[in-house]
Amino acid sequence: MTSSAVAPGATTSENGEPRAARRSDRARDEARLGWWLAGPAFVVMLAVTIYPILQAFYDSLFSYRLTAPSDKEFNAGQNYVVVLSDPVFWQAFLVTAVITIITVLVELVLGFFLALVMHRAIRQLRGVLRTAILVPYGIITVVSAFAWFYAFDINSGFVNHWFDWVPGIDPDLNWFAHQGTSLFVIMASEIWKTTPFISLLLLAGLSQVPGELEEAAQVDGATAWQRLQRVVLPNMKAAIMVAVLFRALDAFRIFDNVFIMTNGANGTDVLSLLAYRTSIGRLEIGLGSAISVLLFLCVIGICFVAIKLFKVDLASARGEG
Amino acid sequence: MRRRNRGMAATAALALALTLAACASESGPPTLTWYINPDNGGQVEIASRCTEAAEGEYRITTEVLPRDAASQREQLARRLAAKDSSIDIMSLDPPFIPELAEPGFLAPIPDDVAEAVTADVVQGAIDGATWRDELVAIPFWANTQLLWYRKSVAEKAGLDPSKEPVTWQQIMDAAAEQGKVLGVQGAKAESLTVWINALVESAGGHIIENPEAPADEVELGLESDAGRAAAEIIGTIGREGLGGAGLPTADENATMTVFQRDNGSFMVNWPFVWSATNAAVEDGTLDADLVDDIGWAIYPRVDEGTEARPPYGGINLGIGAFSAHVDFALAAAQCIVSPENQAYYFATNGNPPASTKAYDDEAVQEAFPMADVIRESLENAAPRPQTPYYNEVSTGLQETWHPPASVDPETTPTTSTDFITAVLRGEALL
Amino acid sequence: MRTLTTRAKVAWAVITVVVLVWALLPVVSIIATSFKLPSQLNLGTFWPKTWTTTNYEQIFAGSAKDLFLPALRNSIGISLIATFVAVVLATLAAYAIARLDFRGKKLILTTALGVSIFPVISIVTPLFNLWRNIGLYDTWLGLIIPYLSLTLPISIWTLAAFFRQIPWELEQAAQVDGATSWQAFRKAIVPLAAPGVFTTALIAFFIAWNDFVYGISLTSTSAARPVPAALAFFTGASQFEEPTGAISAAAVVVTIPVVILVLLFQRQIVSGLTQGAVKG
């Protein structure tokens, strides 16, 4: 089963075009116009990413500290050796991976629930529910991080007081003093902020499920669970895969929440924060660039795995045709 | 034809944007930009006072830096590394001065100016503005931590810190016996380094033995009796819960909150707690009785027989080496640090003067009845290590001495020494 | 309208309440915090004991005014310009992709995809160095350009999806009538495309408005510093006191426009995001 369920809509516009007759002149004209229209966007996108990453790769080959510019020297990959042999890097890598996996899984379940709610909601409630669900999507991540941080803070927060009936929570619980509890709050805020996005992607998939199929299954006496399992989910596979991949890549870059809440204390360091601290904080451009390049390679790696192993068909899923 | 026009239009637009971005109009008297740390508006006021005093020779405008010291350094170092000529005067946290002085980012202070701005200035502030035996910054205000205590708790423990200096052991025992909480800064932040340094220095040691050495030759002094004594105090407070549940995230503000509660006992903290507590009483948040119960004294000792070396903080003014108006900037800085301005700053913003003269000001004595204790504390205060690699040293300490409960006198000094040494040699990440 | 059983009604009521609490509680909590007296922040209550506007006075008229107001101006200006540029470029590109047949189409879409997953932190250091050298550091343009890396890809995808759903017969009809591709685009398609363009602009604006990493790395004065970066510069009555109140107030101020936009345009945003995501 591939993403054929979504693909057909994608190709109609081109198939509908009578192209054979007017090749040659018209085709050349069209191609030129196409590049004139799309070219600027293409060039801008390349300029703001390809150049910097190449520069980062170049810088990563030097021992280079911004406050000691005269000591800059080529050290042929020594930075990579230092980074890759350092437990700090692997610890950050592990934490980043854990955050990515857990948040994406939770968001998938929650997001599916919200998508169902938006999909099925009776008309009177639809506007209210959609608006509520969209609010976290629109809020600045930093603001969300502060909101969650203040809520859980041992001195100013209300969570310890509201939830002191939960075993393990009492006014003396310092959420940001332990790895587990800090990560819990960091992930909760990340989930809160980004679940709307994933649920919208899933909603799109949900609306692709042919209604007749579901009705037919219902007539055949399938329970709600069976319908979900046999009809809805298989037809949404492409949407789910795309949602997971996009969220995973986004979660892997997590920075704002961690920066605000713990700044990496108690084993909550993540790769982006490590890269930031090294190149912007310590001004160790060489080492920092090496981490940046490795982070970039990780992202490429995740993409590669997703596309090759899990056969996420981005092209058709995203309507490339 | 059309293609070329469009390309040219785009180029022109870009060029225009670049010009607009790069060029700043210059007319009238030179404008000096003073990068200030956030405060309660005192530096802005001083800037306008000095602009007035300059009688049209120059104008001073302010640009605010981030709240925490490490980020302030980050911003300034980045701009200075780019030889930014827009930085004329900088409010600098003393530990970061060597890093900026070493590569020549700070304009040299002429001898006559140096002499003028160090007269009647507390020793701690002069030390903090000096690098390789040269004055590289102008002392502005000097901060120090005092021991703040609840008189009721001290009395019950049979202590009178205002008369007889107390030791860490004594206040730990008192807090443990009465089931109270000590106010110390255990958060993974600069305040933890402040605490470690004060303990090590009070025990007669130094975090760095040779602060002027290049990165790969820096020798740490933590694997010593002093380092172990400091680790013993921090570890015990952490493990026995003497700092309360909030200790691993307690910064100066959180520490004050804990101290103001019913289970508050002793606290080491900067003088801002006095004005903040009084403000909370005015708001009706705290009982007026609380203020009467608060006492202050010199920082606790580590050894009974050795005088404490309290933390030293504050702000010194650096002059940007790439400034187009170094002379004016020097003149402006001298105006900023005049004893009157320092006294004004203390009385309104709670930041103690570096100049001993300013303490005699009436407004100061009224706002801060502990002004004399502060002056005395500053004379003994120990700066944090003055090294160009301070950021690495401080972050390395925070990495290895946090959370406080994990600090062990047997292992922590060695672990942190190895870690910081490796970082300084470029062999480990931070 | 369907008639609902009582059970279904109750179920929907419960679901609605749960979703509302889940989505809005953190927002309400920071609103509540923004009205607390600085000295009462640590009482551990949800609502303020004494309601006060001190924090708002601080950021609009008090000591944080010179920090917050320029930041607000920067955030609005930079986000709007970045959105505008991204939408203009993306509209042209998306039209070409949806409508024209030319080689390299796939390359453009793949590039957009690649750019949208790019780790921001990886490019911020080299950009910082480059900006310093060419004078773009701490300027509006210095933020607008990198913001395009965030807003352009999603704009292209969303708009391409929108454009594919437009009834192209109209354009073909116009072309048969002798109009060029460009005229056909302008006369027949623009009116139909406008809602999609608007939705895309909203989404792009949210993304630019949300940025933090570029904001803290590529600015250093109030000349270009946006609000999320400025929050780290707030201070209480002294440098050691927590600026919780001021941060909360500023957070509320920058959240209000978002909530209003969401309230007004929830339908468009939902369709915009879902279109761009999966549909063709």
Same structural domain for residues B174 and B281?
Answer: yes
- Exposed / middle / buried, residue C176 (Cβ in 10 Å: 0-12, 13-18, 19+): exposed
For residue A58, being part of any structural domain is answered with: no
- With residue B51 as reference, give the H or E element that holds it: helix B42-53
Q: Do C37 and B270 touch (CB under 8 A)?
A: no
Domain span including residue B336: 29-136+313-374
Q: Do A266 and B70 touch (CB under 8 A)?
A: no
Domain span including residue A308: 3-20+86-317
For the stretch A132-179, pLDDT in tens is 988 998 899 999 999 999 999 988 889 998 988 888 888 888 999 999
B404 vs B82: CA distance, rounded Å? 39
- What count of residues does chain C have? 280
C254 vs A89: CA distance, rounded Å? 35
- With residue B90 as reference, give the H or E element that holds it: strand B89-92
Q: Identify the band that residue C76 occupies on the pLDDT scale cut at 50, 70 and 90.
A: very high
Q: Identify the band that residue A312 occupies on the pLDDT scale cut at 50, 70 and 90.
A: low
Provide, rounded to the nearest whole percent, the portion of chain C with pLDDT above 70: 96
For residue A36, being part of any structural domain is answered with: no
Nearest to C89 among A35, A40, A296 (CB): A40
Q: What is the 3-state secondary structure (H, E, C) of chain C?
A: CCCCCHHHHHHHHHHHHHHHHHHHHHHHHHHHHHCCCHHHHHHCCCCCCCCCCHHHHHHHCCCCHHHHHHHHHHHHHHHHHHHHHHHHHHHHHHHHHHHCCCCCHHHHHHHHHHHHCCCHHHHHHHHHHHHHHHCCCCCHHHHHHHHHHHHHHHHHHHHHHHHHCCCCHHHHHHHHCCCCHHHHHHHHHHHHHHHHHHHHHHHHHHHHHHCCHHHHHCCCCCCCCCHHHHHHHCCCCCCCCCCHHHHHHHHHHHHHHHHHHHHHHHHHHHHHHHHHHCCC
A66 vs B27: CA distance, rounded Å? 33
- Cβ-based contacts of A161 with chain C (< 8 Å): 44-45
B169 vs A162: CA distance, rounded Å? 37
Q: Does C7 touch chain A (CB under 8 A)?
A: no
Q: What is the mean pLDDT of residues C115-126?
A: 85
Q: Does C22 touch chain A (CB under 8 A)?
A: yes
For the stretch A31-61, pLDDT in tens is 888 888 888 999 988 888 888 889 999 999 9
For residue B10, being part of any structural domain is answered with: no
Same structural domain for residues B209 and B124?
Answer: no
For residue B364, being part of any structural domain is answered with: yes
Same structural domain for residues B420 and B282?
Answer: yes
Instruction: Give A304→chain B minimum CA distance, Å.
Output: 28
C115 vs A296: CA distance, rounded Å? 11
B76 vs B90: CA distance, rounded Å? 8
Q: Do C220 and B75 touch (CB under 8 A)?
A: yes
For residue B24, being part of any structural domain is answered with: no
Q: Do A201 and C113 touch (CB under 8 A)?
A: no
Residue ranges covered by each domain of chain C: 65-233
Nearest to A158 among C22, C44, C106 (CB): C44
Whether the pLDDT of residue A217 is over 50: the answer is: yes
Same structural domain for residues B265 and B412?
Answer: yes
Please list, in sequence order, all residues whose beta carbon lies within 8 angstroms of the beta carbon of residue B357, skipping any fewer than 6 positions away.
B120, B339
Please answer whether residues B68 and B190 qualify as being in contact, where contact means their C-beta atoms are separated by less than 8 angstroms: yes
Q: How many CB pairs under 8 A join A and B?
A: 85
In the stretch 245-264 of chain B, residues with CB closer than 8 A to chain C read 251-254, 257
Please answer whether residues B283 and C42 qualify as being in contact, where contact means their C-beta atoms are separated by less than 8 angstroms: no
By three-state DSSP, how is residue B53 classified? helix
Find the distance separating the first CA and the last CA of chain C, reported in whole Å: 31
For residue B22, being part of any structural domain is answered with: no
For residue A234, being part of any structural domain is answered with: yes
For chain B, what is the domain count? 2
- Amino acid in position B176: A
Q: Does C201 touch chain A (CB under 8 A)?
A: no
For chain A, what is the domain count? 1
Say which CATH number the domain at A129 has.
1.10.3720.10
- With residue B134 as reference, give the H or E element that holds it: strand B134-135
- From the list C27, C224, C73, the residue with the least C-alpha distance to A143 is C27
Which pLDDT score is estimated for A320?
37
- Is 1.10.3720.10 the CATH number for C65-233? yes
For residue A49, being part of any structural domain is answered with: no
Nearest to C239 among B38, B82, B279 (CB): B38
For the stretch A99-132, pLDDT in tens is 999 999 999 999 999 988 888 888 888 888 888 9
Say which CATH number the domain at B79 has.
3.40.190.10
Residue C29 CA from chain centroid, whole number: 22
For residue B1, being part of any structural domain is answered with: no
Instruction: Give B56→chain A minimum CA distance, Å.
Output: 36
Same structural domain for residues B349 and B223?
Answer: no
Q: Sheet holding B59-64: strands in order across?
A: B59-64, B31-36, B89-92, B312-319, B138-144
Q: Identify the band that residue B70 occupies on the pLDDT scale cut at 50, 70 and 90.
A: confident
C234 vs C206: CA distance, rounded Å? 23
Q: Do A35 and C123 touch (CB under 8 A)?
A: no
For strands B59-64 and B89-92, give the pairing: unpaired
B108 vs B114: CA distance, rounded Å? 10
Q: C174 vs A30, B97, B400, C96, C184, CA distance in Å?
A: 16, 70, 72, 17, 6
For the stretch B169-209, pLDDT in tens is 999 999 999 999 999 999 998 999 999 999 999 999 999 99
* Token pair in block for residue C68: 């917050």
Please answer whether residues B159 and B174 qualify as being in contact, where contact means their C-beta atoms are separated by less than 8 angstroms: yes
DSSP secondary structure letters along B294-306: EEEES--BSSTTS
B245 vs C31: CA distance, rounded Å? 27
Q: Does A265 touch chain B (CB under 8 A)?
A: yes
| ipTM of the prediction | 0.90
C196 vs A184: CA distance, rounded Å? 38
Select the more confidently predicted residue: C115 or C99. Answer: C115
Long-range interactions of B162-170: CB distance < 8 A, separation 24+ = B162/B295, B162/B296, B162/B297, B165/B297, B165/B298, B165/B300, B165/B301, B165/B307, B165/B308, B166/B297, B166/B300, B166/B301, B167/B300, B167/B301, B167/B302, B167/B303, B167/B304, B168/B199, B168/B233, B168/B300, B168/B301, B168/B302, B170/B300
B372 vs A6: CA distance, rounded Å? 78
Instruction: Give C193→chain A minimum CA distance, Å.
Output: 16
Same structural domain for residues B304 and B319?
Answer: no
Whether the pLDDT of residue B1 is over 60: the answer is: no
Q: Name which of B188, B397, B419, B429 to mutate to probe chain A: the one with the most chain A Cβ atoms within 10 A of its Cβ.
A: B429
Mean pLDDT of all residues belonging to chain A: 83
For the stretch B128-171, pLDDT in tens is 899 999 999 999 999 999 999 999 999 999 999 999 999 999 99
Which pLDDT score is estimated for A313?
60
Place of tokens 């040494």: B421
Q: Identify the band that residue A3 occupies on the pLDDT scale cut at 50, 70 and 90.
A: very low
Same structural domain for residues B254 and B366?
Answer: no
End residue of a domain, out of B337, B352, B374: B374
Q: Name which of B83, B84, B193, B249 to mutate to probe chain A: the one with the most chain A Cβ atoms within 10 A of its Cβ.
A: B249
> How much is the pTM?
0.88
Same structural domain for residues B227 and B357?
Answer: no
Which pLDDT score is estimated for A319?
41
Mean pLDDT of all residues belonging to chain C: 85
For residue A286, being part of any structural domain is answered with: yes
Q: What is the mean pLDDT of residues C2-7?
A: 74
Nearest to C238 among B18, B71, B349 (CB): B349
By three-state DSSP, how is residue A87 classified? helix
Please answer whether residues C169 and C255 qualify as being in contact, where contact means their C-beta atoms are separated by less than 8 angstroms: no
- What count of residues does chain B have? 430
Please answer whether residues B130 and B109 qualify as being in contact, where contact means their C-beta atoms are separated by less than 8 angstroms: no
Instruction: Give A216→chain C minimum CA distance, Å.
Output: 20
Instruction: Give C207→chain B minimum CA distance, Å.
Output: 24
Whether the pLDDT of residue B4 is over 70: the answer is: no
Which pLDDT score is estimated for B27?
61
Same structural domain for residues B297 and B328?
Answer: no
